Each structure stands twice: as structure tokens, then as C-alpha cells.
Structure 1
Amino acid sequence: MFINYLNVKLFELVLNKSRRVLPNPHMCSTAHLYGERSPSISSKIIVQGAIIRNGEKVVRGVAGYDLNIVCNIVSGIPTIKFFMNIHGLQFKRVGNGSLTYPFKPSKKDNMKSFVCSAYSPLLDNPLLSVVLLDIQYAPTVKIRKQVTRKKLELICYPRGNPQNYTFDDWEHWSEFKQHIRNVNGTPHGKLTFLKYNNNNSLHENDGIYKCKTSNGVYGINGRLYQKGSVLLNNKAPPKFVNANKPIQYGRYGEKTNLKVHLYNKYGSIQTTISKQNETLYIHGRQERILTHDMFHGVYITVSGIKITFQLTLDKTDDFTDYTIEACNNKGCNVFTVKVTSNCRPEPPSYVSVFPNARFLKVVWNSGYDGGYQQTFYVEYQQEEEHIWRRSGLVVDNRQVKMSKILNDLNPKTRYQIRVLSKNKIGESNTTARTSVMTLAERPESPTNVSVIPNDRHLAVSWSPGFNGGEPQTFLIEYKQEAAEMWTQSGPIIDDMKVRISNFLYNMSPKRRYFVRMFSRNKIGESNKTHVTTVITLADRPEPPTKVAVIPFDRHLEVSWCPEFNGRDPQTFFIEYKQEASEMWTRSGPIIDNKKSRMTNLLSNMTPNTRYFVRIFSKNEIGESSKTTVISAMTLEPTINLYRVKAVCVVFIIVIAVFLSKDVFVVGLLVLAVTLAVYGLISFFVLRKKVEPVDNQLYISSDDLDLARVHNLRNPREIDTTLPSTSRENEIYMMQFRNEGGVHVDCSILTELGFAFINDHSLNYSEITFNTVPTMRDAVIHGSENRTIYSEIDLMAEAVAPLSSSESEYDESEDI
């Protein structure tokens, strides 16, 4: 009971006199309450975020923002009791740990304290930590006026935490929240006005003054600078406001009301009216109104007094000048009004024009309506025009300020503006011309965009929109359907034509493209046009390449490499004709099998006949160009001598079997049949023409890179990549046949030896043939019946020297 009582008393003492409880509030250590205790037992209280300011432990926060108060107890006593007292609330726990109190402080919490305490029977005294709340808040601002005989001072008094203040310019506003000006004050928040004798503009200092100051803390309103306001009204004579009309109208023989407006903020007003220095004893009726005046060059609304004098205009002298005097305890002011007889309305005044890109806002003050309902017209023309255009009428609504919007104007164009009024009697004079230039604007988007597709390009055309008053250029954006990024083409200069076109090149055939446009000038970019979707056309296919023709006696084998199909399925056609024919025969269509090389047979060929062959491809768009014509000679049909021999031998054997009883007769028959067979063979061989040594592989002139071909008569690989000495750069293979039907081929690429003599007058080649036994007699060919050979031009120079022949090597060795 004693310990609890002591703890309560200590809390009360801390709350009442917090600064005197603990001389060192940083940390509270344990002491021994009863006798000797273990020195290893220690305790301390830690307040998170606490700092020392002016010898006091404080926790800082900002008004209006969340703040967490956290007290931690670290003790070697497991049963120690821990308390937090704040805002009249108490929180407690047992043992090591923390107590947290979250709240949103206000400026009223500044310099209030809270206590974190702990006690235990093992402690000599309870542990106490007293902490002050240092709550920062934006200042509240008050303004005081100090008036002396020579000056008036406005002094700004901010109150906040911290107390380091920065002052901005003072703001001067009208009573009706119209900004008039900014005024420089002192760095310490003071604004001074000096008083002058007979200062007619002193009233212009009237209004609301706002002091702006900051201590670096944002207020609850979210602003860094806080404001305080004060209303200032100087003691000055009444002032005739700027809105008064110096010329007023009346009708002869009728009464008219002469009206003047006054600004007065001090005392009551006494008014008199005189004509030609003669005082008229006419009572002026007063009423409070809202009127307008110029304060420091700004036309503002002020609270004023309207004085109305009723005049009777029954004499000619009544149409003259009238002087009105208004006085208060600070002095007097006078104003002169000319009353004239004119039934037409007077022209508007104070004409102002505010430019925009496409319209003008015209503002003016109404003049006297001549005693009748009046309307207003705004006339305008471009600077180079001679005819004025008139706006629609604007009815006088009895307001001081009237306005009219002139729409559908051209940007960046100079206009002349004037205003007039009209009543049933007639029109007023026009106001003076006001010259103004409309602003430039962003250009309009192109219109009527069309895209005409081709296979490899797109033709884009459009109608230019208005350029906004500045030179414009056009840009085209396009992308394929699957692409994410737009490609931009341009800029394209506006040539001022009704329609402009441009081409987009390097398109892929048969692809869907998205196209859009926009224009640009120095003001900015127009909106982009709607996306136009278009598909490029398929292209005609490219002609086949590397065409090769291999001849047989009754057919030709044609092979080729397919090329780009123009992104449309293609087929192939082979055209051929005999040398003497004029008409081409077409074979096809041959469907593209998507392989790198294709082959097709031309059947029913005539043996030993020269044919011309060419190929082209075709898709739904059109045909490719035809390949180079290839000449090929079909082969002669041949007799298989081995098959004839075999038949004869079988025949002899059969006869021998039946006549085997007579050996002599069998021998005679075998000898006779053998001679007959060889005689028959010799007859056919001698009767047949000598077989020409002709090309067995025909390759088009654009097929020089074909790496390997095969001789169908005798399969032997040849390398066609080596250069040929033929003028046409073609490959020839000479072929012979022995009596057994076995072919002996001699390729200039493998078995021809070339020798070149330095003397350019003689070129020759040595040919070495494989020696194969033959029973065929030698044939000497004359000039009339010669075999087809490669022609050799003896006058031509060697293209490039090849390696020496074997004979040359032999000669060099002899030397």
C-alpha cells in the first residue's frame, strides 16, 4: 500500500510541476528500496523521438498530422509495472516492452507534458520520465493599424511554432474580392502609407490588405503561406467615381434626371448643384449603389452613393453645364455635367478587346440611351478588307459593362473593331477603331485521308486543314498490324494545294497496315486522324532462276529454283518449241512445292531435234518475266547391241540342242548364225549417222552457280563452278560411244588439259581421251557434215593463263 500511495503522489507531482521532478529526465535508473539488492538489476525508460531543447526533453510533432508517443521500459525486473499518463489517460503494462499512444495533435497540445513511469519493490524510487510536446503549427496572422499625423502603418503579427517567419508581398484587394495590386512591405511584416495634404488619390488605398507569412509549416488548409486580412478606409473627402457620365441628355420641355455617383467612406455627404455659378436649390436624392472606379489603374467595383437631381428643361439655357459639389467633414470635391439635347444615343465608351485564336471578346461601357431603349452593334473587319461586318445586336441590360463575343474568326489575323449604339431615333457615332490580332493556334487535323495500296508502297492523300495561322507540316505514321511502334514519315511541307499526297515506300506485299496523320506548326500538333486500315497488294512473282535442261531422246528434264512468290501462291509454266517452229507450247501449271529446287519432265519430244525452253511463274496478280531461252538437243534412239547378241546366242543354243546329234551340222549352223548376226549389226551401225558429240546438259546463262550436275549416260560428277574458256561462259561435255554402248565422256573440267601460248596469234587445247576398246570405225567429218563442236576463236586472247600442260612440264625438265 505504501508503494502504490507513493507512486500516485509522484504522478500528481509530475503533472503539476513537471519541470521540477527530475533534474535529469533522460534516463531513470534503478535504486534499492529495501536493503541490499543485486547490482545486476537495472531499469531505464526510453521515449522514442525525444530530443533536448532548452534543457527540456521534448517530442516534436506537426499539428494536423499523426503522431505516435512511444515509451519503452528496459528492466532486469520481470514484474516491473510500467505506466504512461497523457491527455488525462493512463496506459500500463507489466514487464519489459513499450506503451504507444497515437493521436493527431493540434496547436493546443503544444508544451503539454506526458509522463512515463515504472515502479517495483526492488526499486528505491519509481522511475519517471517527463516529456513536453513540441507541436509545430502554421501561424495565425493578425494585423494591427497604427495611425499618426503623417503616416499609417499596418503591422503583421503572426503566431505559430516555430517562431521564425518569412513575409511575402502584401496583397491589396477591393471589398468585392477584386485583386488590385501587390505591395512591398518590410522584411518584418510592416506596411507604411504616408499622408499628403490635398491628396485626391488617397481613397485608392482603401480596401482589404492581406499579410502573407510562413514559418515553414503547412497549415491545415494545405498552404505554406498563411494570410491575415484587415479592411482599410481612409478619412478622405467624397470622390466622384470614374463611372460618372460627363455628358447627359434631356428632351426639351421635359424633366430629366441628372445623376452622379460618389465614393465616400467617412461621414455623411452634403451636395449642392449650380448652373453658371448660380446655385440651384434642388434637393439631391441619395441612395446606396454599387458603382465602378479606378484604383491604381484597375477598374473595380466599389460601394457608392448615387445623387439624383431632377431638372426641368423648359428653356434653351437649361441645356448647359451643371456643377455638383459634394462635401464631408474632410473636404469637398466637384464634378461638372453637360446636359445636351440629343435624342440619339451617345457612343459607347471604354472599349476593350480581348483576343483569342478563333474569337474576340469586346467589352464596353454603355452611353446615354437618348431616353429610349438602345441596342449595341460591334462592327469588325480584317485589316486588308474595306467592308465592315456587323455582329448581332446586344440589348442594353442597364449594366455598366456590356460585352459581345465575335466568333468564327481566323487565327493570327489583325482585325479592326468599333462599337455603336442605336435607339428608335437613330444610331450613335461609332467609337474609335481598336486594332487587335487574334492569337495563333494549333493546326487542324487533315481531312479526307485516303490510302491507296500497292504491292510495295502506299499512296496517301489528304486535304489540309487550317494551319492555325502558322506554316504547317504534315507527318504520316504507319505500322504493320502486329507491330507496337509507329513509324513516322515526314515532315511534308504544306504546298497550299487543295489536296496533297505522299508515298510510303518499302512496304511488304500483302500485309495489313495502319495509317494515321497529323499536322504541326510552332504552336503545337493537331489531333491525329482516325486510323485507316489497308492491305498492300500481292506482287507479281519473280522469275525462276538457275534453270537447267537435261535432254533425252523422247523427253527433256527441266529443273529450276523458285523465287519470291509475291506473297501469293504461285505456279510455274514451261514453254518450249522446236527450232523451226514459231509457236510455243506451254506445259503447266506446275504447283509450287515450296522446295528449293523443282523438276518437271517434258514428254513426247522428237529425237535428235533442237528445242528452245523457257519458264515463268504466275500468281493471281500476274505473271513474272520469262527466263532466258535455253537451247537443248534431244538424243537419237540407240540400239542395245548386247541385247541383240544375247538373243542370237540363245537362238543358236536352241538350234544346237535340237540338232545335237549331228555335230558338224551344229557347228555350221552356229558359224552361219554368228556371221549373220555380225553382218546385221554392221549394217545398222554403218547405215546410221555418226552420232554427234553434243551437249548433254543445258544450263541457262543465269545458272552459272549451279554446283553439281550428273551426266545421265555415264554418272560422273563435274564441278561447274570452274571458269569456262568458252565465249558464252557455258559448260560443254563431249561424249563418244564404243561399239558395246559404253560411253566415254571427256569433260573439260576434269580430263581436258589446256595449254596457252604466250603468242596471242595461236590458241590451242590438248584433249586426252580415255582409251577404251571399240569396234567402231573411225569417221572423218567434212565441212558439210560436221559434228557440233565448240567453236574456237583463234584470234581471241586468253582470258587468264591456266596451268601448263604436261608437255610443257616435260620441256622445262629437259631444260
Structure 2
Amino acid sequence: MAGIDSDSVTIEVYFPPTVQIKFEENRTERQLNCVATGIPDLYIFKQWEHWSEYSDLIRYLPDSGSGNLNLQIIEGETDRYQDRGIYICKASNNVSLNGGDSFIPGEFFLNPKSTPYFVTSNNKTQYGVLGQTTNITVDFVSFPEIKNISVIFDGIIHSIENYTLEIMKVMDTVYNKTVFVNGSRLMMTVEVNTERDFKAYTFKLCNQIGSDNLTISLHSASCPETPEIIQIMPEKTQVIVQWIPKFHGGFQQSFHIQYRRRDVQYWNTKHVQDHTMNIYSIDGLTPGTEYLIRIYSSNRKGNSSFSDKKPFRTDATNEHGNLGFILLIVPFVIAVAVLYWQYKKGKFFF
């Protein structure tokens, strides 16, 4: 009845920001912009984080204070594939809910298109076994997907027929950090039939952006092949054995000669450490006795099979020994005779 009065109250509600990342790209750089929306609209930004797809932290990147991140060109890295991954920015307006962290994260997955590349974890030296099937394995990353795969060996480009391709996580070094990334594994089957199959194989991968290549050297990693005895020369108390070395299996090999009397089961062994030797003398044998002899070789992977057992019989007489004595003494006698003749002629002075 007396009248009406009114007043107004302004209530300002604070709430933490929502954070999004906007991406821009040009020929010189990639730019990530951290866009925060909240009240109040005054924001603090933390340093950026760069993660792999498999939650491996790659690096921290400084923020300019404005929430913007520029990824500059790295000298020598024309495709900038190392920039690939998840980028996280965190912004705060000093408002938190229920006393929690006031910094709110935003994420962006950067997956730039580039030429394919082989990851750093590839083993450029791989091994096979002579006479067996082996697989040469290479890991790579390619976005977009591979359009063509070829392999070069013996100076000729070959299309690959016997291979498998599997998408999987592979290990790589990104900005000097070893992490897992999303990639692929290529396995090519090789029939190792001869020693000539142990050689260099260059893999070439192509997508719609470009190509890359990697050379793998296939080495042997097997036990050596069995050497072959080609000659046995028995004397009265010794025997000289000669053999032909076979394929070494990819490593330095040594030879082992075993011998025994025919009426004894125990084998005596002589080790020939010098891998360049293929002839050896065994002493201390019994004259006029039958023996068996065999040989095998070894390397760091193991031993070859034994060669066939070869029989021989030592001499009952010392014919070879006498012959050796004659071969030694005759040149001495001749030398003495020549010196005496020169002395008599006056052509030699002491």
C-alpha cells in the first residue's frame, strides 16, 4: 500500500576451462594453438607434452605464455616424421572443482603424411642357416599406407612374392628417446640354398608421398659343414693327414682330428686352432698298427658332423724315416764336398 522497491544482484559463476587444440600447418612450420574457454578468461599455460601413441613420453616443449606451440623444421629431417604423436597442453584459470587440479588438459593427435621410413631398431645384420628357409625382417612406419614393395639384390630389382605384412607397434628413436610407435613389420622368406644367398638385400618402400630404402646383410649363423679328409700319409710312428675345409657357417672355425687304434674304443683328439691350416702331423703312434681317423670342425655356434672314419696302418719298418734321413744328410755331404773343392782351388778363404 505504501509502494514498491527493488534491487538487483549480479552473481558471477567461475568455472574451470574446457581446453581444445587447433592445428595449423604451412610449408615452414606446424602450429598448435591451445584454446581454453572458462570464467574467468585469464589463463596460465603449462609446458606442452609430446607422447607416442603407446603412452611413452617423448619430450616437453616450452610454452610461449600464449598457449601456442610452433614445430619448426629440423635440418636434415625433410619429412619431419618425428613430430608425429599426441600433444597435450594444460591450461588453468585458477578455478578447480572439489579442490582438484586447476590445470585442465587438452589433446591432439598429430599424424602428418610423409614418405615411409625404417625405424631405428632395425637390425641391419641378420642371420640364416645354409640349406634352410629364413626370414628377413624389417620394421617401418608409413602414413599413408605402402603402395609398392621391392627388394634389390645382385644389382637387380625384384618384386617380393613370399612375404607377410603385419601392423604392430615397433620400437623407434624419436628425438633421442626410445619409444614404441604404430608401424608395420615386413617379413620376406629367403631360401638359403647356397653360400651366394648370404648377401645384401635392399628393401625399397613407396607410398604416394615418396620412398625410402634399407639394406640388410644376410649372414650365415650355423654350425660349419663337415671337412673332408683327402689324404692320409702314415709312417712308422706318425701320420700326416690332409683335409679340405668346407663352409665355415659364418664364423671362424677350428678343426679337431680324432684317431684311435682299431682295437680301442677311446678316441684321441688333436685340436688345430689355426683355421688356415689343412694339414697336420700326429706323432707317438705304434709301428705296424691299424688306426682309424676322422675330423670335424667347430665355430661359436657348435660342431659339424664327423667325417667318415678312414683306416690306415703305420709302417712296421722305418723306411720313411730312413728316407727322411737320406734327404737331410745328402745335401750336407754335397755342401761339404763343394767347400773342400773350392778350398783346393784356392777360391775360398776363411
Category of TM-score, reference length = shorter chain: 0.5 to 0.7
- 1:414-454 deviations in whole A, cap 9, x for unaligned? xxxxxxxxxx9459xxxxxxxxxxxxxxxxxxxxxxxxxxx
Could you tell me whether the CA contact under 8 Å between 2:18 and 2:104 is conserved in 1? yes
- 1:776-802 deviations in whole A, cap 9, x for unaligned? xxxxxxxxxxxxxxxxxxxxxxxxxxx
- The residue matched to 2:188 in structure 1 has which SS? strand
Pairing of 1:745-784 with structure 2 (within 5 A): none
Q: Quick check: 1:343 aligned with 2:213?
A: no
Q: Quick check: 1:295 aligned with 2:174?
A: yes
- 1:163-193 deviations in whole A, cap 9, x for unaligned? 1111121111111111111011322111112
Change (3 A) 1:309 1:221: farther
Could you tell me whether the CA contact under 8 Å between 1:219 and 1:226 is conserved in 2? no
Amino acid at match of 1:333: D
- Root-mean-square deviation over aligned CA pairs: 2.3
Could you tell me whether the CA contact under 8 Å between 1:238 and 1:269 is conserved in 2? no
Q: Which runs of 5+ in 1 are unaligned?
A: 1-120, 345-369, 371-423, 428-815
Q: Partner of 1:317 in structure 2?
A: 196
Higher RCO (Cα < 8 Å, 6 or more apart): 2
- 1:677-731 deviations in whole A, cap 9, x for unaligned? xxxxxxxxxxxxxxxxxxxxxxxxxxxxxxxxxxxxxxxxxxxxxxxxxxxxxxx
Q: Quick check: 1:306 aligned with 2:185?
A: yes
Q: Partner of 1:262 in structure 2?
A: 140
Amino acid at match of 2:189: Q
Could you tell me whether the CA contact under 8 Å between 1:147 and 1:153 is conserved in 2? yes
The 2-side partners of 1:166 and 1:332 are apart by 43
- 1:30-83 deviations in whole A, cap 9, x for unaligned? xxxxxxxxxxxxxxxxxxxxxxxxxxxxxxxxxxxxxxxxxxxxxxxxxxxxxx
Could you tell me whether the CA contact under 8 Å between 1:155 and 1:191 is conserved in 2? yes
- 1:573-596 deviations in whole A, cap 9, x for unaligned? xxxxxxxxxxxxxxxxxxxxxxxx
The structural deviation recorded for 1:253 is: 1.9
Amino acid at match of 2:87: Y
Change (3 A) 1:175 1:196: same
Give 2:86's match in structure 1, choosing from 208, 211, 226: 208
Could you tell me whether the CA contact under 8 Å between 1:172 and 1:209 is conserved in 2? yes
- 1:310-348 deviations in whole A, cap 9, x for unaligned? 11111221101110011212211111111111137xxxx
The structural deviation recorded for 1:196 is: 6.4
The structural deviation recorded for 1:195 is: 4.2
- 1:507-562 deviations in whole A, cap 9, x for unaligned? xxxxxxxxxxxxxxxxxxxxxxxxxxxxxxxxxxxxxxxxxxxxxxxxxxxxxxxx
Give 1:326's match in structure 2, choosing from 180, 202, 205: 205
Amino acid at match of 1:228: G
Q: Partner of 2:112 in structure 1?
A: 234
Amino acid at match of 1:213: A
Q: Partner of 2:150 in structure 1?
A: 272
Q: Partner of 1:130 in structure 2?
A: 8
Change (3 A) 1:293 1:201: farther
- The residue matched to 1:204 in structure 2 has which SS? helix
Amino acid at match of 2:176: G
Amino acid at match of 2:102: L
Change (3 A) 1:280 1:224: same
Change (3 A) 1:291 1:161: same
Could you tell me whether the CA contact under 8 Å between 2:45 and 2:65 is conserved in 1? yes
The 2-side partners of 1:313 and 1:164 are apart by 68
Change (3 A) 1:221 1:198: farther
Could you tell me whether the CA contact under 8 Å between 1:282 and 1:310 is conserved in 2? no
Change (3 A) 1:329 1:173: same
Give 2:38's match in structure 1, choosing from 145, 151, 160: 160
Q: Partner of 1:151 in structure 2?
A: 29
The 1-side partners of 2:99 and 2:128 are apart by 56
Could you tell me whether the CA contact under 8 Å between 2:149 and 2:160 is conserved in 1? no
Pairing of 1:485-634 with structure 2 (within 5 A): none
The 2-side partners of 1:175 and 1:205 are apart by 12
Give percent identity, aligned residues only. 27
Change (3 A) 1:221 1:247: farther
The 2-side partners of 1:237 and 1:197 are apart by 17
The 2-side partners of 1:155 and 1:208 are apart by 14
Normalising by structure 1, report the TM-score. Answer: 0.27
- The residue matched to 2:140 in structure 1 has which SS? strand
Change (3 A) 1:269 1:281: closer
The 2-side partners of 1:134 and 1:287 are apart by 56
Q: Quick check: 1:222 aligned with 2:100?
A: yes
Amino acid at match of 2:92: S
The structural deviation recorded for 1:201 is: 6.4
The 2-side partners of 1:250 and 1:332 are apart by 28
The 2-side partners of 1:186 and 1:277 are apart by 52
The 2-side partners of 1:234 and 1:220 are apart by 39
- The residue matched to 1:188 in structure 2 has which SS? coil
Change (3 A) 1:329 1:181: same
Normalising by structure 2, report the TM-score. Answer: 0.60
The structural deviation recorded for 1:151 is: 1.8
Amino acid at match of 2:130: Y
- The residue matched to 2:8 in structure 1 has which SS? strand
Consecutive aligned runs of 4 or more in structure 1 exceeding 4 Å deviation: 195-198, 424-427
The 1-side partners of 2:52 and 2:119 are apart by 15
